[in-house]
Amino acid sequence: MTTPNDPFVTPSSGFEDLRNYKEHAMIVTPLRIVSGLTTKKSKEPGDTTAADVNAVILYPDGTVKELTNVRVFGKGLVGQFSRAINQMVLGRILLTKSTNGNDVWLMEPGTDADKNLAMAYWTRKASGQFIPAPAATQPATAGAAPAADPFAA
């Protein structure tokens, strides 16, 4: 756990999966699309595409979890992120049904409350204020004050 006097955390093992934060408000910044990958789920070598992203998980109490260079798989999310390279996307990742009835992970647009959380984070980040990580996983709800809007179209 971090504190204002000790902002460091111990390294984690393994990798981050944005689906672990499903239904949480988050800001995702797609960095690049990576094609020609082979995974366990590939039907043939090199047929998998992924997105590398930075993400900020936003918690209702104002704490955040910043994730850097996370590799995201899944045609739905990769397709969405491919249209927003180097842009901040605000929303929540949800498991939904595709038109043919298959499960698909998509990022749904954020609510006004999510935008308020994002704006509070952005304002503190821009002013150089330390933003602690959450002590434990928290439920995804909302609340914070708005500021200048970097998410406006």
Give the tens place of pLDDT for each residue, 61-77: 888 999 999 999 999 99
pLDDT at 42: 86
Surface-to-core class of residue 115, CB atoms within 10 Å of its CB (0-12 exposed, 13-18 middle, 19+ buried): buried
Query: What is the SS3 assignment for 44?
Result: coil
pLDDT at 153: 45
Give the tens place of pLDDT for each residue, 91-120: 999 999 988 999 999 999 999 999 999 999
pLDDT at 136: 55
The whole-chain average pLDDT of the chain stands at 83
Compare 131 and 67 and report the one with higher pLDDT.
Answer: 67
Model confidence at 138: pLDDT above 80: no
Domain ranges of the chain: 18-126
What is the identity of the amino acid at 142? A
Surface-to-core class of residue 54, CB atoms within 10 Å of its CB (0-12 exposed, 13-18 middle, 19+ buried): middle
User: Across the beta sheet with 48-58, what order do the strands follow?
Assistant: 64-72, 48-58, 25-37, 89-97, 103-109
* Per-residue pLDDT band at 2 (split at 50, 70, 90): low
- Residue 128, CA distances (Å) to 5, 117, 122 in order: 15, 17, 10
pLDDT at 98: 87
Written as six digits, the tokens of 132 are 């602690």
The whole-model pTM stands at: 0.75
Model confidence at 86: pLDDT above 90: yes
Give the tens place of pLDDT for each residue, 23-47: 999 999 999 999 999 988 889 999 9
What is the identity of the amino acid at 84? A
Model confidence at 140: pLDDT above 50: no
End-to-end CA distance of the chain: 36
